[in-house]
Amino acid sequence: MAKRRARSSMGTPGQVVMARVRERVRRHIPTPISDGDALNLCLTCATFESDALLELAHDRVVRSAAVANCNALALASDEFDALLCDASLNVPRRTALAAALAVEEADDECQARHAAIAAALRLTMTEQAQQKRWQESARTRARVALAVLRKEGHMTCLESALGSVLVSDHRLVEDLRAETEEEGIDLITVSSLIGAVSRALTA
């Protein structure tokens, strides 16, 4: 009984992650910021071209401190997965996230990115379970899109989002990441997605 009470008092996996995010931001950012901005910061620090993304989304003081402490602030792969898993989201939060992602997915660049990801996961997407997750859940598509852009732990996050990724697709995923690094990400689209997820999860 005591163990159950202790576990319950810790909250959902997402709440545990947010407590870590707040502590990390308090330690490394000199000015107070909202939970939404704090999560945005930690997601951004874990993503390709984080310096440019930080410049789009945060003021000079926050941006300078974040660039200097990027590795310490970055959301780890297990935190990323916990934040967006079923156990972390109550009905209002799922609804808010779905609405926010519907707006993001109306963008042509977002749709093009999804098509490129699906092509890189072409054999995985022939599996019924993975195909169902991808086609039916905007949250899964957002998780996958952000996972592919992570500096570290991208395959772990992809497998968590989809259930599994066939080994035969690993090379195609790496090729997509290399191409993205070479050509550069669409800063506006990626920043908008990170912002939408951060606001919906902390509203």
**What confidence category does residue 11 fall into, taking pLDDT thresholds of 50, 70 and 90?**
confident
| Rounded-to-integer distance, Cα 52 and Cα 196, Å | 18
- Domain residues for 65? 2-202
CA nearest to 174, candidates 195, 150, 138: 150
Count of domains observed in the chain = 1
Mean predicted lDDT score pLDDT of the chain: 94
Say what the pLDDT of residue 2 is. 41
Q: What are 162-203's pLDDT values in tens digits?
A: 999 999 999 999 999 999 999 999 999 999 999 999 999 998
The percent of residues in the chain predicted with pLDDT above 90, rounded, is: 94
Q: What are 119-141's pLDDT values in tens digits?
A: 999 999 999 999 999 999 999 99
Say what the pLDDT of residue 124 is. 98
Say what the pLDDT of residue 10 is. 67
Does the pLDDT of residue 6 top 50, yes or no? no
Does the pLDDT of residue 36 top 80, yes or no? yes
pTM value is 0.92
